[in-house]
Structure formats: structure tokens, C-alpha cells
Structure 1
Amino acid sequence: MSDSDRIFSQPLAQVPDFVFNEDVVRVFPDMIKRSVPGYPAIVENLGVLAAQFAQPDTVLYDLGASLGAVTQALRRHVTAPGCQVVAVDNAQAMASRCREYLKAQDSMCQELLPVQVLEADILELALQPASVVALNFTLQFIAPPLRQGLLERIRQALVPGGALLLSEKLRFTDPADQALLTDLHLAFKRANGYSELEIAQKRSAIENVMKPDSFEEHRARLLAAGFSRVVPWFQCINFASFIALP
């Protein structure tokens, strides 16, 4: 059970850049549920979608796995023989807690796919032949010049019939759309109990760390990386998820 997110509840003289440290890990499930509209629906349905694309004897990657919510969904839904889930995160605190959560899942469920948790940089990871790759709110934390190369490597690793499942916060090219959806996102946070101080300080902490793209930018980059189709399947306010097919 996670603690309630109170990280930005007190005034800070200087707001540091957001990092996935032990403090964040402790409150992360509460933080993401209260900050990302549609997050529980996205995570559970990534497991459902993955089951449609998983090929026997391949790896399923959860890149930027954080506490392993997507990995758990993959293991709940995918039954293709010979598959293994590899969950990867570069934050030691996240990877350590992810292993604990997956061990708990093993104790409650029988015959789940085997899983390996790696503490590693996904930009340097050698990818095995994969049928499903999940990038669930991960690409937006990768430096923009490095995103194309990562997607090209993922495309090369995907086997026929596989898919990349990509979820991201979106920005919008139309200023009126951007303003409207930003206001709606702030309303979502207020409705989930965040104060104006918490909202403002979290925004200051994350604005230099998370750089969202528009759907058009995502689509162009994915097509340039060698994907043949990019299909949105979910959007809630300014958060979306789509399928990229090789």
C-alpha cells in the first residue's frame, strides 16, 4: 500500500527538478492515479492489447517500468507459450520496489509469465526479439534528440505480428486546444485533492524533465522509425495511448 502524495504540499524555497527517488517511489501509485487521467484504464487494457499481439517464444518489454503496473497487467492477460516479460527502469528505488510487487503477484497468482526486472538505461539496452514493447509514459522523459534512435531500435527488435504500445502526455499544436486541455487537467488534479501550491510546485519540478510531443510529432517519428501504422486507441483529457505496428 502506498502513502498519500504530499511531496509538494509545503512551500519550497527552490523547487528541484523531479527525480524518481525513494520519496517518489513511496507515494508513486497515489501520485500517478491522481495526476494522470485514465491511468488505471490504460494500464489494465495494455494487458488486454498485449495478449492480441504477443507471439510465442518472444520477450515482452515494459520499458520505464516504474513499479511494474504494466508488467503485472501483461502477466495477467498474456498466455502465449514461451514468453517472458522484461521490466526495465533506470531508477534503483523503482526497480527494487518493482521486484517486491512482482514477488507479491507471484504469491497470489499461479502460472504467470516469468519476469525479469532490470535496473538499466533503456537507451543502452540490447533488445531481444520482442512481440510487445510497452513505453507507458516513458518516452516523454527521454531527451528529445534521443527519441528517434530508441524507436528505431524498438522497431528492429519487433517480430512480425508484434506491436509497440505507447502512452504519453500530449501537447497540442492549436493554442486554444492546448489551453482548454491544460485547464481540464488542472481541474482533474484539483478534483483529486491537490492544492494550488502542490500543482504549481509539481509543474515547476517537472517542466525541465518531461517534454511532451503532439500526436502529429509522435506519428511522424514512428513512421520514420519504420512503423507502418500508428493507431490511437485511448485518450483522456491530454493523456493518450496508441498502437504502432511494424
Structure 2
Amino acid sequence: MIDTEPDDLFDRPSGPVRPFEFDADVARVFPDMVRRSVPGYAELVGLSGLVARRVARPGTRCYDLGCSLGAVTRSILRQVTGEVRVVAVDNAPAMIEGLRARLADVPHSGRVEPVCADVREVAIENASLVVLNLTLQFIPRDARLELLTRIRQGLVPGGVLILAEKIQVSDDRGGRFLTQLHEDFKRANGYSEMAISGKRAALDRVLVPETIEAHEARLSAAGFVGVERWFQSLNFVAWIAWT
């Protein structure tokens, strides 16, 4: 078991906040970061494995696009046996290195193919499941439809996409309430006001959220015949899209 270091990246004032990137510093604290920053993250990862158990087919592939340190990849391995390969893709070398280390003592990890590449440049072939877990929001907005269309074309009949995203909320009472609750969630998990504001500044224009309606319209435009919103925790939402 690899120890997780506490996320203190934005607790140390060091001049202007630089844009967020998935470098070695982020990889070092990433498990703690997502646990304390993303409400429902552990449940979403576990449920993704259950979806995989239901839809993954022998002889096909599962893709974990934007895999980071491989939480979803490991969840899939725990739930899916047999001749199903998992292609785990991330463009950050530090994340792929961390993924390899975390797979070292995981049963059946030989079925995982780690790939260090931009998810937009990876061929999606013979896939029964593709997971985009908090990944599309980091892709340029004008490239998102093309990526989803390629995923749709690479899925076998009956294949499934899991898409999970932080959503853009409206500037009304309900939207502001969700935003405030998310910040309260981070405070309750020990983040300082400096850390909350620093990370917000670092993610500005790097993580670009969209509304629920925009995501669902794009999934339809990409050719998915069914879209089900199946998970939400505050301003984080997940969909299942069917071929």
C-alpha cells in the first residue's frame, strides 16, 4: 500500500498562483486532494466498477481516459474478471508512473495497459466501456464533441460511456447554494481559506465546466442513443451513455 501525502499545495504563499497542472507535486498528494475536494468521489469510483462488471464483455477493452493514479482502473479490475483488458491513459508522466507503482501488488494487473498520451490521440477500439472521470472538463471545449464522437465510434454495440464532470451551476439561489456547500465541504475536510482560494485561482480557465444541458446535448450529438444521469453529489454529476 502506497502512503498518501496530505494536500498542502495551496497552503504556502509563494507569489502569484500558477495555472493548475498534473505534475509530480499534484501526483504526490492527488488521492488526498480528490478525497477532500470532490464530494462523493469514493462512491463514484466504486459504482464505476459495478457498472464495468455489468457491461464489460470478454474479448473487449475498457478504457480509463484521464486515469490519473488509476482509482477507476483498480475498481474495474476488482469487479471484472476474464479476458477484458483495461487501457489506462493519462498525459501526465507523473500520474502514469504513480499508476504503475499502485498496480504492483494488485491482482490481475497484467491486464492493464498504461499509456502516457493525450486522450484525444488514443485510438478507441473494440471497447465495451469507456470512462471519462473528471477529464472532459480539462479538454478544450471546441474539441469535446470530436472526442465523444470518436469514443462512440469505438464502442461495440451495447457499449457504455461513463462521463463524470464538475458542472457549471446557474447564478441563481440554487446554484449559489451548491457552490457554497462545495466550499463548506472543503472547509469541513480541513482546507484553509488560502488553499480554497488558491486552488480556485489555479483552476481558472484550466478546468472549464459546462451545464448539465450542454453535456447532455453533446452526448446526443455524438451519437449516443440513450443518456442517463445516474449520480450527483453537489455540483458533480455522472452520466451513463449507451450506444
TM-score, normalization by structure 2: 0.96
1:145 counterpart (101, 125, 142): 142
Q: Displacement of 1:212 after TM fit?
A: 0.6
Q: Name the residue aligned to 1:78.
A: 80
Report matched runs for 1:44-123 at 5 Å: 44-79=46-81, 81-105=82-106, 109=107, 111=108, 114-123=111-120
CA distance in 2, matches of 1:241, 1:194: 25
**Is this contact kept in 1: 2:164–2:236, CA < 8 A?**
yes
Contact preservation (8 Å) 2:170, 2:176: no
Match of 1:163 among 149, 160, 163: 160
- For structure 1, the 5+ residue unaligned runs are none
Q: Deviation of residue 13 (structure 1)? A: 1.6
Give the structure 2 partner of residue 207 of structure 1: 204
Q: Which residue of 2 aligns with 1:221?
A: 218
Contact 1:55 1:162 in 2 (8 A): no
**Contact map agreement 1:185 1:237 (CA 8 A) in 2:** yes
Structure 1 residue aligned with 2:42, among 40, 43, 51?
A: 40
In the alignment of these two chains, the number of paired residues is 241
The aligned amino acid for 2:76 is L
Paired amino acid for 1:192: N
**Counterparts of 1:175-214 in structure 2 under 5 Å?**
175-214=172-211
Q: Distance in 1 between matches of 2:69 and 2:145?
A: 25
Deviations 1:71-101 (A, max 9, x none): 000000012x321000000000001110110
Q: Deviations for 1:196-246, whole angstroms, at most 9, x for unmatched residues?
A: 010000000001200011111110000000001110111111111110011
- Contact 1:4/1:30 (CA < 8 Å) preserved in 2? yes
* SS at structure 1 position matched to 2:123: coil
Cα deviation for residue 12 of structure 1 reads 3.0
Tell me how far apart the structure 2 counterparts of residues 217 and 200 of structure 1 sit (CA, whole Å): 27
Which residues of structure 2 form unaligned runs of 5+? none
What is the CA–CA distance in structure 1 between the aligned matches of 2:140 and 2:83, rounded to whole Å? 34
Matching residue's letter, 1:138: T
Matching residue of 2:231: 234
CA distance in 2, matches of 1:50, 1:239: 20
The separation in 1 between residues aligned to 2:57 and 2:215, in whole angstroms, is 25
Q: How far apart, CA to CA, are the structure 2 residues paired with 1:54 and 1:152? A: 20
How many Å apart are 1:176 and its aligned residue? 2.3
User: Any idea what the Cα deviations from partners look like across 1:162-199, whole Å, max 9, x if unmatched?
Assistant: 10011100112453222111000000000000010100
Q: Secondary structure at the match of 2:83?
A: coil
Q: What are the superposed Cα offsets for residues 146-173 of structure 1, whole Å, 9 maximum, x if unpaired?
A: 0000000000001012100111001124
Match of 1:12 among 11, 14, 24: 14
Contact 2:231 2:238 in 1 (8 A): yes
Letter in 1 for 2:153: Q
1:93 match: secondary structure = helix
% identical equivalent positions: 49
Q: CA deviation at 1:104?
A: 2.3
Structure 2 CA distance for aligned equivalents of residues 137 and 103 of structure 1: 25
Q: Per the alignment, in what secondary structure is the counterpart of residue 45 of structure 1?
A: helix
- Over the aligned positions, Cα root-mean-square deviation in angstroms equals 1.1
Query: 1:83, 1:113 within 8 Å by CA — same for their partners in 2?
Result: no
Aligned partner of residue 96 in structure 1, secondary structure: helix
